[in-house]
Structure 1
Amino acid sequence: MHSTEQRLNHAIVEFYEKLSSWEHAVVRDKGISLSQVHAIELLGGHGAMRMKELASKIGVTTGTLTVQIDKMVKAQWVNRRPHESDRRSILVELTDKGRALFLEHDALHLQLTTDLTANMSAEERAVLLNLLTRMNHAF
């Protein structure tokens, strides 16, 4: 018999795999990579960010991010600009085209959330939100 921790572990891994598969399917035909979508999601939710900060949040090196950002600048999804108070830092921000892509992708996430929680009561959704928030803070 599996312990609660083992069953919870398997449930989290299964959910991650299903969410990841859904995410790959969503971006597959958009001409954008998953790491680029993650950068757009972060910039859309947080606004302009330093390259180093964005790389840290995505979990890649600044060198790896630079390659992705170069492609995203070429696709006109983001711009680079100097930081106002730190001349050594470069900020990355969404263009209007990037903002539109963010809003489109965010709407897909909202629809998925609505679909996944459709059979939950308002109280169950509130408990789920509380638990996910606590789990995210633990990282």
Structure 2
Amino acid sequence: MAEKSAVDPIVESRKQWLAHGWDEATDGMNTVISVMRVHQLFLAMVDSALKPFSLTFSRYEVLTLLSFTRAGTLPMSKISARLQVHATSTTNSVDRLEKAGLVQRRSHPDDRRTTLVDLTDAGRELAARATSALNDEVFTSPAFAGTDLGELLPHLEALRTSLEPRP
């Protein structure tokens, strides 16, 4: 992780935006850059927690999504839609998970155009262990000292939903 600077680059950016007369865009710039930086920091924490399991976050998401289904199986297209990622990303994740013996692909019995992804027992077990690590190391205490997450979550949800593309 990078060494902490004595000067907060986002505070410095704010000063520069104001100095250049971009007053109307300053709060928006600070918000976007702050959220992007928080994303980078959270992703680093998640990657660190998943590293011992040889999982990336995208592969973890596929395993966990499958573990939430009753039968442990979903069509590739539904995995992409539910995770809101491009089909190519899903294919890449499933390829890697399949090589590791964590999922299996098969043709849909009623529609041969559809490929199903089945969670293996090893995949289910790894998803459970990785989730425990994420809960312990990241999700239980996401470094918001003095912040009521219950107050923050509605703002983040509103921001996310306003930015998501409409179908």
Same fold (TM over 0.5): yes
- C-alpha distance in 2, partners of 1:43/1:10? 33
- Provide TM-score, normalisation by structure 1: 0.73
Q: Is the 8 A contact 1:48 1:94 kept in 2?
A: yes
* Count of residue pairs brought into register by the alignment: 136
Q: Is the 8 A contact 1:39 1:58 kept in 2?
A: no
**The structure with more helix, counted as a fraction of residues:** 1
Query: Which structure has the larger Rg?
Result: 2
Q: Is the counterpart of residue 28 in structure 1 residue 54 in structure 2?
A: no
Q: Is the 8 A contact 2:108 2:116 kept in 1?
A: yes
1:61–1:118 CA distance, 2 compared to 1 (3 A)? closer
State the shift of 1:40 in Å: 1.8
Q: Is the 8 A contact 2:62 2:93 kept in 1?
A: no
Deviations 1:33-89 (A, max 9, x none): 443223223323455321123235352334x54354233223221122333543321
Q: Is the 8 A contact 2:47 2:57 kept in 1?
A: yes
1:99–1:136 CA distance, 2 compared to 1 (3 A)? farther
Q: How does 1:123-138 map to 2 (within 5 A)?
A: 124-138=148-162
Identity %: 21
Of 135, 140, 154 in structure 2, the residue corresponding to residue 114 of structure 1 is 140
- Provide TM-score, normalisation by structure 2: 0.63
| Superposed CA RMSD | 2.8
Q: Where does residue 98 of structure 1 map in the other structure?
A: 123
